[in-house]
Amino acid sequence: MPPFEKNGYVVASSATGDAIVIDPGDEVEQLIAIVRRMGVTVRYIMLTHSHLDHISGCNEAKAEWAVPLVLHKDDLFLYERAVQQGIAFGIGMHPQPPIDAWFDQQPQWAFGDCVVIVHHTPGHSPGQVCLQIGEGGQPADVLFVGDTLFAGSIGRTDLPGGDHETLLRSVRDLLFPLGDHCTVYPGHGPATTIGEERRTNPFLASIR
């Protein structure tokens, strides 16, 4: 949705109907409608990072689902400055609800029969994480990468805490080893795969 055309996600266990919501932003009302239509039970709200477009719907999400809100602690400084982030982009922002749990203190999470493996992939922001999700004991081959990697691009690194070389190392050392078959759901734009980006993404030419 405008102004950032950001993707938020609902991921549910087909076996149990338990679910997580990832990065509620301007599209939070759509996410709420999707959860209600699916009839699933949200267990966590998970944030890949704390840039304002990925957190602007947290108040509405917490009001709808009284469940833990999870973030990596290295992005707390950005999360706590949501109002200031909004000012920088000319967008009105409210303070966001408190964080309930931290990715850096728990590397794996479960909802229903799904397992979330957390990969700390700094570069776009210090606390950026990618969430690798598998279901029913199957290999975890689905990745929700926030703004680490896009179809044909990578996350910008000119915002506070960003670093281009760190981002490239995160992709090379943490995402590439997960396998070319892995489907990537980014924070903006269409889905892709690790293999497609390894082969064709011009921003990754130096690390192929």
> Which of 73, 13, 74 lies closest to 43, judged by CA?
13
Q: Phi and psi dihedrals of 90, rounded to 5?
A: 70, 30
Q: What is the CATH number of domain 9-207?
A: 3.60.15.10
Listed by start position, the domains of the chain span 9-207
DSSP 173: I
Per-residue tokens: 37: 């239509």
Residue 128, Cβ density class (10 Å: 0-12 exposed, 13-18 middle, ≥19 buried): buried
Query: What does the CA dihedral 59, 132, 77, 79 come to, rounded to 10 degrees?
Result: -10
Q: Are the C-beta atoms of residues 49 and 124 closer than 8 Å to each other?
A: yes
Q: Provide the whole-model pTM.
A: 0.96
Q: Which residue has the tokens 């290999």?
A: 139
- pLDDT 10s per residue in the chain (208 long)? 456 789 999 999 999 999 999 999 999 999 999 999 999 999 999 999 999 999 999 999 999 999 999 999 999 999 999 999 999 989 999 999 999 999 999 999 999 999 999 999 999 999 999 999 999 877 789 999 999 999 999 999 999 999 999 999 999 999 999 999 999 999 999 999 999 999 999 999 999 8
**What is the distance between the alpha carbons of residues 132 and 153, in angstroms, rounded to a whole number?**
20
Q: Which residue has the tokens 């943490």?
A: 174
**What is the distance between the alpha carbons of residues 63 and 204, in angstroms, rounded to a whole number?**
40
Q: Which residue has the tokens 């192929």?
A: 208
**Neighbouring C-beta atoms of residue 64, cutoff 10 Å:** 19
Q: Are the C-beta atoms of residues 46 and 116 closer than 8 Å to each other?
A: yes
pLDDT of amino acid 3: 66
